[in-house]
Amino acid sequence: MEEIGAVFCDNNISCLPIVKGRKLVGIITGSDLLHSYVELTGVNQPGSQIEIRIPDKAGSLHDIAHIFKRRNTNILSTLVYPEKMEPIIKFL
């Protein structure tokens, strides 16, 4: 999904052919990519979303996950992206 998304963005396109051998077997669209993103993030499931900014150092995500485990709370999905700002914790 990440590679296809990068191809879409880098080339400003909204669909790609799926080829097996030399035969067209399907097409993936921007809508397909968006649907996969929604499924992966769990945004279509009941629950809460929490945004946490932490330092970019080994073990930071482990430390946060351990806090959730101690409170017997499940994490359905985790997105990680580079952040240049100072670390903060924000609950949505």
Residues 11-23 have pLDDT tens digits of 999 999 999 999 9
User: What pLDDT score was predicted for residue 26?
Assistant: 94
Chain mean pLDDT for the chain: 83
What residues does 24 pair with on adjacent strands?
19
Here the tokens at position 51 are: 């945004």
Return the percentage of the chain with pLDDT > 70, whole number.
87
How do the domains of the chain map onto residue ranges? 1-45, 47-92
One-letter amino acid for residue 17 of the chain: P
Q: For tokens 């946490």, name the residue.
A: 52
The mean pLDDT value for 42-58 works out to: 78
Element holding 67 (H helix, E strand): helix 60-70
Check: CB of residue 55 under 8 Å from CB of residue 87: yes
Here the tokens at position 61 are: 């995500």
User: What pLDDT score was predicted for residue 90?
Assistant: 56
User: What pLDDT score was predicted for residue 47?
Assistant: 75
Model confidence at 37, in pLDDT bands (50, 70, 90)? confident
Tell me phi and psi for residue 20, to 5 degrees: -120, 115
If one compares 91 and 18, the residue with the highest pLDDT of the two is 18
